[in-house]
Amino acid sequence: MPGRLTSFAVGAVLVTALGAGLALYGTGSIGSNGLGPGEPCAGSLAAARRIAPLARGEVAAMQVLDRPRPAPALRFKDAQGAEATLADLKGGTLLVNLWATWCAPCKAEMPALDRLQAELGGPDFGVVAINVDTRNLDRPPAWMRENGIARLAYYADPGGRVLPAVQRDTGSTGLPTTLLIDAQGCEVGVMKGPAEWASEDGKRLIRALLGDAGKS
């Protein structure tokens, strides 16, 4: 397992964090009405309906949107410090995760995100973990190295633009927050709080969004 935490320790932290997260964020679907055929993201309705029954177990807190919507226009930095956007990554399904070194639940779920990228990452899917620290900017990449987080590309938002944009988009008030974005660039789900993303429940949900639900 990546990182220096034992699997028992990570599991204990995640169980505690999940309980706190459910209390803080709540669960359920977002929105109540479907989309007309000419509306933005109408083509993503089928995908949202496909994954809705799979928001259970380790990913039960996933809030699948009844009305998929264009993903927020996020701007951040890549590992070289160059400007990057979600639009640059459009064309594949994305799991966009906001995390910070001062957020214990964020750090607890990072090994699972790293494993998810290792197992399912490729041209059709990627984990985009965006660090939102605005101080001590050398600390996040150092923490990733020290804890064996090797498969995730490093993205950061030292200017503090991403977190408020996602908060406005989702109504989330804490971290971690994760957006599930399909290949059309439409947001189909939001996770407010941590999850065991590399679990069978997590992989089943991602595969269903990719249209590959039949594989285990």
Q: Is residue 45 one of the residues assigned to a domain?
A: yes
Decide if 215 is inside a domain: no
* Domain-embedded: residue 62: yes
Q: How many domains does the chain have?
A: 1
Q: Is residue 2 part of a domain?
A: no
Element (H, E) at 127: strand 125-131
In a domain, 37, yes or no: yes
* Domain annotation covers residue 117: yes
Predicted confidence band at 120 (pLDDT cuts at 50, 70, 90)?
A: very high
| Helix ranges, the chain (H) | 7-25, 45-51, 104-120, 139-146, 162-170, 200-209
pLDDT digits (tens, 9 = 90+) for 71-80: 999 999 999 9
Q: Which amino acid is at 132?
A: V
Q: What is the pLDDT of residue 90?
A: 79
CA–CA separation, 37 and 122 (whole Å): 30
pTM score of the predicted model: 0.82
Q: Which residue, 54, 65, 63, is CA-closest to 28? A: 63
What is the per-residue DSSP string for 180-200? EE-TTSEEEEEEES---TTSH
Query: CATH number, domain at 58?
Result: 3.40.30.10
pLDDT given for residue 3 in this prediction? 41
Q: Is 214 part of a structural domain of the chain?
A: no
Query: Tell me, what's the pLDDT at 212?
Result: 74
Residue 29 confidence class, pLDDT cut points 50, 70, 90? very low
Residue whose pair of structure tokens reads 């177990």 in the numeric block: 57
Please report whether residue 132 resides in a domain.
Answer: yes
CA terminus-to-terminus distance, the chain: 21
d(CA 37, CA 39): 6
Domain carrying residue 85: 7-209
Mean pLDDT on 133-139: 97
